[in-house]
Structures are given as C-alpha cells and as structure tokens.
C-alpha cells in the first residue's frame, strides 16, 4: 500500500492574507503614484508660471529703475535748460529795454551843427537822461541847433529836450546846456 500523504497546506491562509495585503499595497502605491503625478501635473505649471511672473516682475522693476535714473538725469538737464532759457529771456528783455546810449551819443554829435562844439556829455542811466553842453559861435548856429533838436523830437528818438542854460560870453559865443530824456525805458 502505498501511503498516501495528505496535502495539508498550513500557509495557505497566511498566503492569502499576504496576497491580499500585497494587492492593497499595490493599489495604494498605484493610487498614491497617480495622485502624486496629478499633483505634480498641477503644481509644476503653477510653479513655472510663478517663476515666469517673478522673472518678468524683476525685469520690469529693472526697467523702471533704469527709466527713473534716466528721468532724474534728464530732470537735471531740464532744470539747467529752463534756467538757461529764463536767463536768455531776461537778457533778451534787458537788451530790448536797454537805453542805447552809444546810439544816443552818435545822434547827439549829429545834432550839433558844424560851427558848434560839444564840450561835455554826462550820462545818467537811472533817469534815462543825457546832459550835454556846448559852445555855439553865432545866433545862426544856435538856430540850427534848435532846429536839429526839434527834428530829433519828431523822430521819437528823444522824449524830451530841455535847454537848461543859455549864456552869451564876452567874445560873442553862446554856451548851451541841454538835458535830453530818452524814449527807451
């Protein structure tokens, strides 16, 4: 007789428990892996977008800083240009409003006739006045001088001409002093 050995497997129940735990572990690992992949699939674009925004923001800030520095440099130039422009305007106004004494003196020399001599010229810039004195040899020359004064007033170069003194010397010459007020203010 052959001996028949019964097939008794005492580990079968334990093996089933291990297999069941292994399947659970495998399922948990699979679900965890899928969840991790989904999480990373969501997180990576967000992180990438955040890095992109941060880089762009830093670039914009650098551009703003550069532009601000440029503006500040231009502002100093602009202030200098405004100051220079104001000075030029003031100079221009001063030149337009100044009394042209050299022109007045030239005109005065032309006022005195040939037979008259100009003795002195005093300029008073504050009052826009020129005081002149001269010697005239005759009454006819005196008449020419007064006609010259009248013509000068009509040309509007002078606002007023006032004879301040007129005397006759023993030699027959006339000493004339006049105060001339300019039209320029």
- 137 token code pair: 């040899």
Instruction: Give the CATH fold of the 101-182 domain.
Output: Gyrase A; domain 2 (3.30.1360)
65: enclosing H helix or E strand: helix 12-97
pLDDT band at 10 (very low <50, low <70, confident <90, very high): low
More confident residue, 142 or 84: 84
Q: Residue 58 and residue 70: Cα distance in Å, rounded?
A: 18
- Residues in CB range of 173: below 8 A, 6 or more apart: 135, 136, 137
Is the pLDDT score of 1 beyond 70?
A: no
Q: What would the pLDDT profile of 87-139 be if each residue is shown by its tens digit?
A: 888 888 777 656 566 666 777 777 778 888 888 888 777 777 888 888 888 88
Contact 168, 174 (CB under 8 A): yes
Domain parsing of the chain, residue ranges: 11-97, 101-182
Helix pair 101-111, 139-154: axis angle to 10 deg: 140
More confident residue, 104 or 69: 69
Task: Please indicate, yes or no, whether the overall pTM of this predicted structure exceeds 0.85.
Answer: no
pLDDT band at 2 (very low <50, low <70, confident <90, very high): low
Most confident stretch, 3-12, 63-72, 107-116, 147-156:
63-72
Q: Residue 105 and residue 110: Cα distance in Å, rounded?
A: 9
Is the pLDDT score of 55 beyond 90?
A: yes
CA angle 105–109–110, rounded 5-degree value:
115
| Average pLDDT, rounded, for the chain | 83
pLDDT at residue 97, rounded to an integer: 56
The SS3 of residue 84 is helix
């Amino acid at each position: 007789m052959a001996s028949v050995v019964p097939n008794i497997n005492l580990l079968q129940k334990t093996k089933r428990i291990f297999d069941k735990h292994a399947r659970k572990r495998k399922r948990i690992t699979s679900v965890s892996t899928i969840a991790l992949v989904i999480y990373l699939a969501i997180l990576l674009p967000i992180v990438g977008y955040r890095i992109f925004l941060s880089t762009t923001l830093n670039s914009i800030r650098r551009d703003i800083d550069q532009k601000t520095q440029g503006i500040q440099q231009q502002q100093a130039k602009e202030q200098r240009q405004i100051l220079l422009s104001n000075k030029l305007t003031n100079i221009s106004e001063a030149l337009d409003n100044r009394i042209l004494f050299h022109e007045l003196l030239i005109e005065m020399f032309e006022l005195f006739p040939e037979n008259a001599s100009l003795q002195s010229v005093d300029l008073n810039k504050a009052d826009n006045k020129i005081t002149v004195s001269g010697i005239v040899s005759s009454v006819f020359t005196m008449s020419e001088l007064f006609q010259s004064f009248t013509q000068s007033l009509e040309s509007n170069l002078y606002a007023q001409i006032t004879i301040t003194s007129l005397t006759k010397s023993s030699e027959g010459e006339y000493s004339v002093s006049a105060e001339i007020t300019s039209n320029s203010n």
